[in-house]
């Protein structure tokens, strides 16, 4: 079960804030090592049910899924974690139904679906995607976050354009570090 725990840890970490998610313009980028979080912290996944399919290298959490690790949390109705052939690494993870992610640095993301791809270090929020921190917000139909590149792309829907609202930082916060886990999130 330890290989499964390591794989699930990587999936939950990636989906629950383990990267440079759609940060407001002008916000300082986190160093890659810090963005990955503390992998020594335990991962806790609560769900109504868990199903493991060994031949498919798939673990499915169903019903009121809550994944917590290193002061980050992800909520979803369902989370599918696809493992590599050995079962000790995540290939991809898909979360659906009321997806909400709160990162260690108090960024919140919501969407109908969240997809994480390990090889590309890419997270895709699909369907009424929205990411915000404090009062700053970016929304669109799809938000794609390239974790290793500290880059994101927001796409609108056919009848809906991308929307972004950024507020100037207060003088007392200029140059200061982003919110930390010790400070409560306002999101």
What would the pLDDT profile of 106-155 be if each residue is shown by its tens digit? 889 999 999 988 888 888 999 999 999 889 999 999 999 888 888 889 99
Closest by Cα among 110, 117, 113 to 22: 110
pLDDT 10s digits, 9-50: 444 444 444 443 334 333 333 333 334 455 566 778 899 999
Domain coordinates in residue numbering, the chain? 2-173
Q: Are 22 and 132 in contact (CB under 8 A)?
A: no
CA distance 160 to 128: 10
Q: Which fold has domain 2-173?
A: lipopolysaccharide transport protein A fold (2.60.450)
Token reading at 13: 């970490």
Return contacts of 109-114, CB within 8 angstroms, 24+ apart: 109/21, 109/22, 109/143, 111/143, 114/15, 114/74, 114/76
């Amino acid at each position: 079960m330890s290989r499964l725990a390591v794989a699930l840890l990587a999936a939950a970490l990636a989906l629950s804030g383990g990267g440079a998610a759609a940060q407001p313009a002008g916000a300082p980028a986190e160093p890659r090592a810090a963005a990955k979080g503390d992998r020594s912290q335990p991962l806790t996944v609560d769900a109504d049910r868990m199903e493991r399919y060994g031949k498919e290298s798939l673990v499915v959490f169903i019903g009121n899924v809550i994944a917590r690790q290193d002061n980050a949390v992800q909520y979803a109705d369902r989370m599918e974690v696809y493992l590599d052939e050995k079962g000790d690494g995540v290939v991809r993870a898909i979360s659906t139904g009321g997806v909400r992610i709160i990162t260690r640095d108090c960024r919140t993301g919501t969407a109908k679906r969240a997809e994480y791809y390990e090889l590309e270090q890419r997270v895709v929020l699909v369907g009424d995607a929205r990411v915000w921190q404090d009062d700053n917000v970016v929304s669109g139909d799809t938000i794609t976050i390239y974790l290793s590149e500290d880059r994101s792309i927001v796409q609108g829907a056919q009848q809906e354009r991308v929307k972004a609202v950024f507020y100037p930082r207060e003088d007392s916060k200029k140059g200061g570090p982003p919110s930390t886990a010790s400070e409560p999130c306002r999101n």
